[in-house]
């Protein structure tokens, strides 16, 4: 199945929201950027990218708009909505709490 097994559940959403918070992007650009930002650590299959984007769109966190690319082709650009920004903030905060807690646990184990 297409579940991003190599990603912690829900992390893909966070990554996408963060990326779109910087600028509006279309699907292909997102897939390129995912690869370049995270190197080979985070493997996101192209197949699971689009369902994830559509899910975020249906949740109202990102909005889609058809625009011309620099090569003069029509593409669907996604951008963060106001709701999405709030969601991003709360998810980011969550993530930080979680990762802090986990690294704390790991440090205890090393002592």
- Contacting positions for another protein (CB under 8 A): 2, 26-28, 31, 45-48, 50-51, 54-55, 57-60, 66, 73-76, 81, 83, 86
* Cα first-last separation, the chain: 40
Percent helix, percent strand, percent coil in the chain, to nearest 5: 60, 15, 25
- Residue nearer to another protein on the CB measure, 71 or 107: 71
Among 58, 59, 69, which Cα is nearest to 24's? 69
**Chain CA centroid to CA 22, Å:** 12
- Residue nearer to another protein on the CB measure, 23 or 46: 46
Least distance in angstroms from the C-beta of 20 to another protein? 15
CA pseudo-torsion sign 28, 33, 38, 40 = positive
Least distance in angstroms from the C-beta of 110 to another protein? 39
- Residue nearer to another protein on the CB measure, 6 or 59: 59
Least distance in angstroms from the C-beta of 18 to another protein? 20
Least distance in angstroms from the C-beta of 15 to another protein? 18
């Amino acid at each position: 199945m297409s579940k991003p097994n190599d990603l912690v559940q829900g992390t893909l959403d966070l990554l996408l929201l963060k990326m779109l918070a910087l600028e509006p992007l279309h699907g292909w650009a997102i897939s390129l950027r995912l690869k370049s930002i995270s190197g080979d650590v985070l493997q996101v299959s192209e197949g699971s990218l689009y369902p994830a984007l559509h899910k975020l769109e249906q949740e109202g966190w990102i909005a889609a708009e058809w625009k011309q690319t620099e090569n003069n082709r029509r593409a669907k650009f996604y951008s963060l909505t106001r709701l999405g920004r709030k969601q991003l903030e709360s998810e980011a905060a969550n993530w930080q709490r979680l990762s802090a807690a986990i690294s704390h646990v790991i440090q205890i184990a090393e002592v």
